[in-house]
Amino acid sequence: MKRKLLTGNGAAAWGARLAKADYIPAFPITPQTEIIETLAKWIDTDEMEGRLVTLESEHSMITAAGTAASTGVRVFTATSSQGLLYAMEMLYTVAGWRAPLVLVNVSRGLSAPITLEADHNDVMAARDSGFLQIHCSTCQEVLDGVIMAYRISEDQKIRLPIIVNLDGFYLSFTREPVELPDKEAVDAFLPPFDAGNIKLRANMPESQAVVVLGGSPYSYFRYEMHLAEMNGLNIYESVAGEFKKHFGREYASVESYRTDDAEYLFVMMGSFATKAKEAVDRLRDAGWTIGLLRPRLFRPFPAPTFQKLCRGKKAVAVIDQNLSMGKGGILHGELASALYGHNEMPTILASFIGGLGGRDISTEEFFEMANVIKRSFEEGSTPPPRLLYTDEELREIRKLQTIANVERNSLKGEQ
Amino acid sequence: MNENIKKLKDLPSTHLMGTGTPMCAGCGGLEALHQVYDILGKNTVIINAAGCMTLLSVYPFTPFSGSWIYTAMASAPAGAQGVRDALDILRKKGSITEEEDLQVVVLTGDGSAYGMGMSATSGAMDRDLDFIYLCYDNEGYGNTGQQYSQATPHAAQTATSKSALGFTGYKKDLFSIWAAHKPAYVATVIGSEPLDLAKKIEKAKGLKGPKMIIALSPCPTGWDFDPSKTVDIGKLAVKTGIWPLKEYIDGKVIHTKIPKKRLNIEAYLKEQGRFSHLFEPTRNESLLAELQKKVDTYWEEIENG
Amino acid sequence: MYRIRFHGRGGQGIKVTSRILGSALFMNGYEIQDAPRYGAERRGAPIFAYVRASKNSIFERGIVRNPDLIVVADESLIPLPAAAVIQGADEHTVLLLNTRIDAQTWKERLNFPGTVLSFDAYICFEEQQDERFTGTACVGAASRLLGLFDKSILKEAINEELQEMKSEIIEKNITIALKAYDLMEPYEHCVNSSKKTDALNYVKPHWVELPFENARTSAPVIHATLTSENVPTGLWRTLHPIIHYEHCHRCWWNCSTFCPDSAINVNEESFPVIDYDHCKGCLICSTICPSHAIEVISESEARKRMEKKEEE
């Protein structure tokens, strides 16, 4: 095993290569493009077997990914943001076909206004589709995540497609040391693709993805998809356990960082959660008993694990790097519904929105969030959700607005 | 090129498409499809886009002797790409034999082919995908109640063009758009000319690359005529010159049937309720003349080379 | 509240039928809800429509589970499970059938818990073509059974719902509806509203925990070929083609090729044979047969001939 400096995109490409993906339907989009460029190069130079085809849109790309998997080959694909949304119809469709495949999403904020940097609204939009979701916070996790994802997706008890998510720029273009497992070690962990009972062959004709009319039959197929996805809770654990045995690295469905004796918790996903670890360490130095919970598995939602890990805690700050317009932080809502009604759950579940479009979250902001939930616990009342934004930032945007010829009046706060 | 079918007697006498589908009685699209299916055989996988034919298979009923997969409205050719690539990968690996391989066939209506699916079709042709594309063209969005599509002919009444003038747009020239991609083959066919259709499908079967077929599909429900007239109306479409039977191959367009003495298009239009406003309560002479002129101009250009 | 369900085939105007009734009731001061229920839009395929009418707000939605009145415009639907014609009927339900067979026979055949009434829509027609107004005849009859509004309102409702059509057609519909209305005089007001559901003594729903089943079973895939042949589309027929073999020249490449539904097979002697389980009665075969060997009769006539044959 060797440690190399890899970007998140590079790690994703290595994951696909080590998993011996047969078919890579592709379409370029920032900040994912390096993944398909890397794979294309390897295929062109015979370092990797496999076929990469550029489709004319992400909607077509996911269609091709799904039909190829339904025919019977191992498929890898990647996209971001607008591309993921353009394909959204097919995400739901392909999951309904029960086509196993790995889709790497390099998270990027959504239009409008259009931007290039990371947040999680794109991948959150796919949460109801039937795709499982694994969220990574390091480049190592990306590579390992792709390999584990194939085991999970192709498991006969699941047979659903899976998204492995990494943040644009902060992981996709950032190099970190990554341990590259040996080919043989990966082969021992991940067997070749087994099409199982759904495939296209001349000698066993099938009509796939057919119309289902009637609420009762339709409900059956949809519920079964959900049950299959729920099997992901157990299967993730067993695959992660095996991964640890083979490679020595442990990936619980929810990472708990210094939470055992913690009274207060941060809950956060993705690469920015790494920053929360720094904040935890500094707060601990200052005498706090605080920790971080970082879900890796977002779909299926690891509710039982969260119930266990939140039991007896006083207050929780959920930091969402996404915003459901008209409601608030998505992870916050998911967590609240998972914890409600269970015994000894934290009295305070506070919502913070930060990091949209890659907006940085400073360590001081983490300290302040910790103080907010502590005060709230002492006062016994949940604070309103906070959109993380500073006075300096507001002044900055006013300057931009001046240039953009917004009326002077509004600078003084008048209508 | 395998051309076994020379006379009508050579047409297959057993049919691969099963009965019991919910297509309308007298469906011109089904008529063309079942003829095509007989020539292609059961080692096929049909990749379908949303349209009337999507209802061919409703769980647990399927009329196919081969395989089928329904995708979405815009991306059937992309679905075909995935299947073809996967089969090629499996062949290369030796995981499947030639006998287990499948012909990849895209089946869509005009709604998808002339409109929403154009991007995916163009991409597939651009990538020189080895597949057959069969468009059953009933000149409107049939499955949703015959609203106008980009295939609707000028002056036709549809659910969204009900004025006395009918549809004010013009039928898109899909044949030329497809031919501009220089695929292996493009052809127009119609179920009422089974020999012409069979020869073209046989020819297509033997070629590699994109083989693009448009089948005009007289539609009793959408065009408003008695189902028993589907074949008659198809024959009139050819005899009046409204539906030219032609193919594009090796860079040239060849007409496989040139009507010697073209009937006046009224013979075709009068049979269909969707054109009745051209005759009742009064004849719309200017529209009729315009429609006739279009057809005349087309054939004059053909005759003059 | 009154709950009425109409059953018919695509092309028989069942949607308009239900709307005529809905309009009439609305005009007479009722709150109403009317809706057709489509699969995909097909001529010949079974469709149903329902009407709810109440003097109060209607707090129901969707299909009518417990109909007070079921009206069947096309008796060939009755044996079709998919048409679910008598679903939800109980002792209080009135079943009105467009049929020539007497009500008692139907009641026994169907083991129907409530009242069965027959009426022959043909009596209301002036010519064969009027068959397309079967739905209107049905709503005329249904209106009398409900007894909730008079002829003038029925006429007004027809004018309202058919206003886009030519006046001769509207007149014809009115004539047919009123004839049916008169025909049903002996049964006026025989439809009763069902009792309100009892929240204390109700039949518990039999909820189950759905077991996980692997994808072969639980994905929408049909692991078979030609299962569509289980669907008897022959029941769509209203007209019946018969091959007269003495005139048949065995040019099967015509009829067998042109039949869109693959419903004409070719036997060992090269004669075409019609598959009546599936023939939809489009009559393309009869139209294009070069030797005019295919006769067309009505489906009811064909059934009569069949019954006669069976007796012999």
Residue A230, domain CATH: 3.40.50.970
Candidates A157, A219, A227, A229: best to mutate against C (most CBs of C within 10 A) is A227
B131/B34 Cα distance (integer angstroms): 18
According to the model, what pLDDT value does residue B76 have? 98
Q: Is residue A413 part of a domain?
A: no
Candidates C131, C225, C266, C299: best to mutate against B (most CBs of B within 10 A) is C225
B137/B279 Cα distance (integer angstroms): 25
Establish how many alpha carbons lie within 13 A of residue B286's alpha carbon, considering only the half-sphere containing its beta carbon: 2
A101/B78 Cα distance (integer angstroms): 16
Domain interval for residue A34: 2-247
Nearest CA in chain A to B86: A68
For A37-79, write each residue's pLDDT tens digit: 999 999 999 999 999 999 999 999 999 999 999 999 999 999 9
- Residue A366 in contact with residue A276, Cβ under 8 Å? yes
According to the model, what pLDDT value does residue B1 have? 37
According to the model, what pLDDT value does residue C39 have? 57
If one counts the domains in chain A, the total is 2
Indicate if the pLDDT at residue C182 is higher than 90.
Answer: yes
Give contacts of A 264-283 with C, CB under 8 A.
Answer: none
Confidence of residue B3 (pLDDT cuts 50, 70, 90): low
Domain match, A176 and A76 both: yes
Range from A131-145, A187-201, A304-318 carrying the lowest mean pLDDT: A187-201
- Residue C106 in contact with residue C130, Cβ under 8 Å? no
Q: What is the pTM of this model?
A: 0.93
For C191-239, write each residue's pLDDT tens digit: 999 888 889 999 999 999 999 999 999 999 999 999 999 988 888 888 9
For B115-125, write each residue's pLDDT tens digit: 999 999 999 99
Nearest CA in chain A to B69: A208
- Residue B67 in contact with residue B102, Cβ under 8 Å? yes
According to the model, what pLDDT value does residue C238 have? 82
ipTM of the complex: 0.94
Domain match, A32 and A170 both: yes
Average pLDDT, chain A: 96
According to the model, what pLDDT value does residue A410 have? 54
Domain match, A103 and A194 both: yes
Distance from CA of A200 to the nearest CA of C (A): 11
According to the model, what pLDDT value does residue C46 have? 78
Q: Is residue A130 part of a domain?
A: yes
Q: Is the CB of B123 less than 8 angstroms away from the CB of A59? A: no
Q: What is the mean pLDDT of residues B96-118?
A: 96
Domain match, A216 and A285 both: no
- Length of chain A in residues, anyone? 415
What is the CATH number for A267? Answer: 3.40.50.920
Q: Is residue A281 part of a domain?
A: yes
Q: Is residue A400 part of a domain?
A: no
For C96-129, write each residue's pLDDT tens digit: 999 989 999 999 999 999 999 999 998 898 887 7
Q: Is A96 on the interface with C (CB under 8 A)?
A: yes
According to the model, what pLDDT value does residue A249 have? 97
Q: Is the CB of C39 less than 8 angstroms away from the CB of A156? A: no
Q: What percent of the residues of chain C are helix, what percent strand, and what percent coil, each to the nearest 5?
A: 40, 20, 45
Confidence of residue B2 (pLDDT cuts 50, 70, 90): very low
Question: Whose CA is closest to B38, among B1, B65, B19, B76?
Answer: B65
Confidence of residue C42 (pLDDT cuts 50, 70, 90): low
- The runs of H, that is alpha helices, within C43-166 are 103-110, 134-146, 151-161
Residue A317 bridge partners (DSSP): A266, A350
Q: Is the CB of A25 less than 8 angstroms away from the CB of B81? A: yes
Q: Is residue A16 part of a domain?
A: yes
Q: What is the mean pLDDT of residues C185-192?
A: 94
Distance from CA of A151 to the nearest CA of C (A): 16
Q: What is the mean pLDDT of residues B168-178?
A: 97
Output phi, psi for A172, to 5 deg: -60, -40
According to the model, what pLDDT value does residue C13 have? 84
Domain match, A79 and A146 both: yes
Q: Which chains touch C (3 or more CB pairs under 8 A)?
A: A, B
Domain match, A65 and A122 both: yes
According to the model, what pLDDT value does residue C256 have? 96
Confidence of residue C132 (pLDDT cuts 50, 70, 90): confident
Q: Which of A247, A276, A298 is the last residue of a domain?
A: A247
For B262-297, write each residue's pLDDT tens digit: 999 999 999 999 999 999 999 999 999 999 999 999
Average pLDDT, chain C: 92
Q: Is A98 on the interface with C (CB under 8 A)?
A: yes
Q: What is the mean pLDDT of residues B239-256?
A: 97
Cα A312 to its chain centre, rounded Å, is: 27
Q: What is the mean pLDDT of residues B184-205?
A: 97
According to the model, what pLDDT value does residue C299 have? 83
For B65-89, write each residue's pLDDT tens digit: 999 999 999 999 999 999 999 999 9
Range from A221-235, A277-291, B192-206, C24-38 carrying the lowest mean pLDDT: C24-38
Among partner residues B9, B19, B191, which is closest to C263 by beta-carbon distance?
B19
Q: Which of A197, A225, A247 is the last residue of a domain?
A: A247
- Chain B residues with CB inside 8 Å of C256's CB? 13, 15
Domain match, A217 and A301 both: no
For chain B, what is the largest distance between any 2 Cα atoms, rounded to a whole number of angstroms?
68
Domain match, A318 and A364 both: yes
Q: Is residue A171 part of a domain?
A: yes
CATH number of the B2-303 domain: 3.40.50.970
According to the model, what pLDDT value does residue A408 have? 59
Indicate if the pLDDT at residue C240 is higher than 50.
Answer: yes
According to the model, what pLDDT value does residue A411 have? 54
According to the model, what pLDDT value does residue C236 have? 81
Cα C275 to its chain centre, rounded Å, is: 22
For A349-392, write each residue's pLDDT tens digit: 999 999 999 999 999 999 999 999 999 999 999 999 999 999 99
Nearest CA in chain C to A94: C219
Domain match, A223 and A351 both: no
* Residue recorded with tokens 């739905």: C135
Confidence of residue A413 (pLDDT cuts 50, 70, 90): low
Token reading at A258: 């210094």
Q: Is residue A414 part of a domain?
A: no
Q: Which of A185, A213, A247 is the last residue of a domain?
A: A247
Task: Answer with the residue of higher pLDDT: B103 or A203.
Answer: B103
Domain match, A183 and A43 both: yes
Nearest CA in chain C to B54: C40
B243/B196 Cα distance (integer angstroms): 13
Domain match, A296 and A340 both: yes
For C243-295, write each residue's pLDDT tens digit: 999 999 999 999 999 999 999 999 999 999 999 999 999 999 999 999 999 99
Residue C158 is classified by DSSP as H
C152/C136 Cα distance (integer angstroms): 15
Distance from CA of A99 to the nearest CA of C (A): 9
Range from A225-234, B126-135, B141-150 carrying the lowest mean pLDDT: B141-150
Domain match, A83 and A171 both: yes
C251 by Cβ neighbours in 10 Å (0-12 / 13-18 / 19+) ranks as middle
Q: Which chains touch A (3 or more CB pairs under 8 A)?
A: B, C
Distance from CA of B100 to the nearest CA of A (A): 5
Q: Is residue A338 part of a domain?
A: yes
Task: Map C228-243 to HEC letters.
Answer: HHHCCHHHHCCEEEEE
